[in-house]
């Protein structure tokens, strides 16, 4: 089994990691590029962490340049008059309101017209908001760099290591089909049963470390990605699917699983697709769709079936054949060579 050491420095905002292993890997493939003019000053050009599409079809990007809005034609900056904070997390709640998580200035609630800012002054546990989640009761949870906040629409209830949380830096939150709450932290991953916290353990009591993302797929399986690679939980057993560090996961409409992770074949990171039919087999089929020498982050399938994903330098869109890179006010159609 390969050994990975992932050291994230808070001075670069919790995300720049260097992953090492002993594999022999090839260099990145060269890409053919076709350009098309696109005059738009608000195209994301820096770190793009999270991507969501609202029920109205509008796509939002949490970026280091603010929260960027894309209406299908034009990019605009939704938060330019609010703050110059860098944004990390996004959520559209059941009432089609948006929650925006920033680094250092708390969370923002947006009803389509006005914004409301929640910080430690209003009861939020910490002003660096790494993830936002809505549970089945409509309660909003904030995973921050200083613990977890539960917001019922009126007040905050906060949890930290003093309350049994395994680590104060919370990367991901999930309520599964049974109502159990999962928390991925920089330390151990843990459950919350409404009373207290307990470690999530694989075989022989081994804990999961630095879980970056947790999702539940349509079949009810829970997936964990982080330092320990990619894991599937079927309700009874944890199964390791891949050993490479995983930063983000997404299930598309065909039930394929997409990940942003370290590449298996080259030095760099990969946007990978796991074929749905293989996910419950002993050996899953993984296809590396795109590889780069910098990190990939959030993934989204839009209403038209395109796959969007963020990286250190902006955002890409994949149509099944080509990639569109929107950086530098130009659409770049990137065509990868055949494997």
Question: Where does the pLDDT of residue 28 fall: very low under 50, low under 70, confident under 90, or very high at 90 and above?
Answer: low
CA-to-CA distance for 56 and 260, rounded, in angstroms? 26
Q: What is the 3-state secondary structure (H, E, C) of 307-318?
A: EEEEECCEEEEE
**Residue 321's pLDDT is what?**
82
**Segment 184-207, tens digit of pLDDT:** 999 999 999 999 999 999 877 899
Q: Would you say residue 307 has pLDDT above 50?
A: yes
Residue predicted with more confidence, 16 or 226: 226
**Residue 56's pLDDT is what?**
95
CB atoms < 10 A from the CB of 24, how many? 6
**Residue 27's pLDDT is what?**
54
What average pLDDT does range 217-225 have in this prediction?
A: 96
**Residue 284's pLDDT is what?**
83
- The DSSP code for 293 is S
**Residue 21's pLDDT is what?**
42
Chain center to CA of 297: 6
What average pLDDT does range 249-256 have in this prediction?
A: 97
CA-to-CA distance for 310 and 6, rounded, in angstroms? 20
**Segment 275-302, tens digit of pLDDT:** 998 887 777 889 998 888 889 999 999 9
Q: Would you say residue 111 has pLDDT above 50?
A: yes
CA-to-CA distance for 295 and 266, rounded, in angstroms? 13
Q: Quick one: what percent of the chain has pLDDT higher than 70?
A: 85
Question: Where does the pLDDT of residue 267 fall: very low under 50, low under 70, confident under 90, or very high at 90 and above?
Answer: confident
Q: Which of 156, 230, 160 is nearest to 190 (CA)?
A: 160
Q: Would you say residue 337 has pLDDT above 80?
A: no
What average pLDDT does range 21-31 have in this prediction?
A: 50
**Residue 278's pLDDT is what?**
86
Domains, the chain, in order of start with CATH, read 46-322 (2.130.10.10)
CA-to-CA distance for 147 and 156, rounded, in angstroms? 12
Q: What are phi and psi of 300, to 5 degrees?
A: -145, 140
Report CA-CA distances (Å) from 298 to 47, 247, 312. 10, 8, 11
**Segment 115-126, tens digit of pLDDT:** 999 999 999 999
What average pLDDT does range 157-183 have in this prediction?
A: 96
**Residue 16's pLDDT is what?**
39
Q: Mean pLDDT lowest for which of 215-219, 293-297, 308-312?
A: 293-297
**Residue 34's pLDDT is what?**
43
Please, are residues 149 and 124 in contact by the beta-carbon 8 Å criterion?
yes
Q: Quick one: what percent of the chain has pLDDT higher than 90?
A: 70
3-state DSSP helix/strand/coil % of the chain, to nearest 5: 5, 45, 45
CA-to-CA distance for 6 and 20, rounded, in angstroms? 8
**Residue 162's pLDDT is what?**
96
CA-to-CA distance for 172 and 215, rounded, in angstroms? 9
What average pLDDT does range 32-48 have in this prediction?
A: 66
Please, are residues 247 and 7 in contact by the beta-carbon 8 Å criterion?
no
**Residue 85's pLDDT is what?**
93
**Segment 153-168, tens digit of pLDDT:** 999 999 999 999 999 9
Q: Would you say residue 71 has pLDDT above 50?
A: yes
Average pLDDT, rounded, for the chain: 86
**Residue 330's pLDDT is what?**
52
**What pTM does this model have?**
0.86
CA-to-CA distance for 310 and 327, rounded, in angstroms? 11
Concatenated DSSP letters for 46-81? S-EEEEEE-TTS-EEEEETTEEEEE-SS-EEETTTT
């Amino acid at each position: 089994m390969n050994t990975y050491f992932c050291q994230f420095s808070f001075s670069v905002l919790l995300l720049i990691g260097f992953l090492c292993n002993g594999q022999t890997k090839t260099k990145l493939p060269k890409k053919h590029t076709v350009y098309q003019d696109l005059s738009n000053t608000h195209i994301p050009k820096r770190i793009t962490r999270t991507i969501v599409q609202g029920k109205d079809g509008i796509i939002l990007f949490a970026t280091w340049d603010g929260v960027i809005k894309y209406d299908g034609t034009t990019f605009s900056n939704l938060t330019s008059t609010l703050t110059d904070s860098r944004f990390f997390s996004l959520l559209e709640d059941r009432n089609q309101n948006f929650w925006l998580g920033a680094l250092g200035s708390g969370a923002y609630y947006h009803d389509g017209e006005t914004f409301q800012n929640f910080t430690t002054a209003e009861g939020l546990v910490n002003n660096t908001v790494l993830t936002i989640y809505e549970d089945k009761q409509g309660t909003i949870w904030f995973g921050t760099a200083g613990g977890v906040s539960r917001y019922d629409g009126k007040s905050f209830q906060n949890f930290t290591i003093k309350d049994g949380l395994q680590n104060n830096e919370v990367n991901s939150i999930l309520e599964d089909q049974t109502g159990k709450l999962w928390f991925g932290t920089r330390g151990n991953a843990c459950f919350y049963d409404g009373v207290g916290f307990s470690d999530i353990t694989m075989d022989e009591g081994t804990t999961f470390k630095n879980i970056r993302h947790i999702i539940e797929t349509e079949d009810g399986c829970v997936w964990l990605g982080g330092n320990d690679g990619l894991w599937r939980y079927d309700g009874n057993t944890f199964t390791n699917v891949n050993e490479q560090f995983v930063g983000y996961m997404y299930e598309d409409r065909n039930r394929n699983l997409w990940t942003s992770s370290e590449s298996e074949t080259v030095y760099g990171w990969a946007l990978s697709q796991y074929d749905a039919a293989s996910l419950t087999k002993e050996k899953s089929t993984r296809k590396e769709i795109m590889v780069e020498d910098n990190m990939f982050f959030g993934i989204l399938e839009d209403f038209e079936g395109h796959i969007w994903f963020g990286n250190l330098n902006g955002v890409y869109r994949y149509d099944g054949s080509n990639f569109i890179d929107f950086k530098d006010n130009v659409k770049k159609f990137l065509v990868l060579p055949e494997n």
